[in-house]
Chains A and B, each alone.
Chain A
Amino acid sequence: MAVLTVNDLCKTFGAGTARANRVLDHITFDVRGQTFVSIVGPSGCGKSTLLNIISGVETHTSGEISVTSDAGKPARLGYVFQDPRLLPWRSVRRNMLYVQDADDEVTRRRVDTYLDMVGLGKHGDFFPGQLSGGMQQRVGIARAFAVEPDLLIMDEPFSHLDAITARGLRAQLQDIWAQSKKTVVFVTHDVVEAVELSDRIIVLQPGGRIFEDITIDLPRPRRQSDPAVATLQAEVLARLENMKAMTPQVAAAG
Chain B
Amino acid sequence: MSNPVIEAPPTAPAVTWQEGEVLARRAAARNKRKRLALLVAGWVVLLLIWQVAAYYLPFGTLPNPLEVGAEMWEIIASGALVSDFMASVLKTFAGFGVAVLVGAPVGYLMGRHNYWKAFFHDGVTVAGTIPALTYAVLSLIIFGLSNLGPVLAVALVSTPYVAINVAEGIRGVDQQLVKMSQAFGRSQQQIRREVYLPTIVPYMFAAVRMSFAVAWKVEALTEVFGGTNGVGFQIRNEYQLFNITGVIAWMALFIVFMLIIERLVLRKLEAKVLAWRPEERVRT
Contacts and interface: CB of A to CB of B under 8 A. Distances in A.
Interface in B1-25: 1-6, 8-11, 13, 17
Given A87-B195, A168-B10, A225-B6, A79 B1 contact: no
B172 interface: no
Contact of A88 (B8, B184, B276): B276
Given A55-B183, A79-B183, A167-B5, 12 more contacts: A89-B198, A98-B181, A98-B184, A98-B194, A99-B185, A119-B9, A127-B275, A129-B278, A134-B10, A147-B184, A169-B10, A225-B2
A164 B194 contact: no
Q: Enumerate the 10 nearest inter-chain pairs by beta-carbon distance, A residue then B residue, closest first.
A: A99-B184, A85-B180, A89-B198, A171-B6, A225-B3, A127-B276, A168-B10, A89-B276, A79-B183, A165-B10
B176 to A, nearest CB: 5
A192 interface: no
11 contacts: A85-B177, A87-B198, A89-B276, A132-B17, A167-B5, A168-B6, A169-B10, A171-B6, A224-B5, A224-B6, A225-B4
A108 interface: no
Contacts of B13: 132
Nearest to B176: A85
Contacts of B3: 223-225
Contacts of B176: 81, 83, 85
Contacts of B179: 85
Size category of the binding interface on chain B: 20 to 34
Contacts of A79: 180, 183-184
B277 interface: yes
B186 interface: yes
Interface of B: 1-6, 8-11, 13, 17, 176-177, 179-181, 183-186, 190, 194-195, 198, 275-278
A90 B11 CA distance: 26
Question: Counting chain B CB atoms within 10 Å of each CB, which of A55, A89, A119, A167 scores highest?
Answer: A89
A124 B278 CA distance: 17
A81 B180 contact: yes
A132 B15 CA distance: 13
Nearest to B182: A57
A78 B198 CA distance: 24
A77 interface: yes
A41 to B, nearest CB: 22
B194 A90 contact: yes
A169 B6 CA distance: 9
A130 interface: yes
Interface string A69-82: 00000001111010
B158 to A, nearest CB: 25
Interface of A: 55, 57, 76-79, 81, 83, 85, 87-90, 98-99, 119, 127, 129-130, 132, 134-135, 147, 164-165, 167-169, 171, 223-225, 230
A168 B277 contact: no
Nearest to B13: A132
A147 B185 CA distance: 11
A147 B181 CA distance: 13
A164 B183 contact: no
A77 B6 contact: no
Contacts of B277: 88, 129
Nearest to B7: A171
Contacts of A134: 10
B273 to A, nearest CB: 9
A166 B2 CA distance: 18
A77 to B, nearest CB: 7
B192 to A, nearest CB: 13
A99 B186 contact: yes
B278 to A, nearest CB: 5
Question: Counting chain A CB atoms within 10 Å of each CB, which of B2, B10, B275 scores highest?
Answer: B10
A230 to B, nearest CB: 7
Contacts of A168: 5-6, 8-10
B113 to A, nearest CB: 22
A191 B275 CA distance: 42
Nearest to B277: A129
Contacts of A119: 9
A167 B6 CA distance: 7
A230 B6 contact: no
Contact of B186 (A76, A98, A223): A98
B11 A164 contact: yes
Question: Counting chain A CB atoms within 10 Å of each CB, which of B1, B186, B276 scores highest?
Answer: B276
Contacts of A167: 5-6
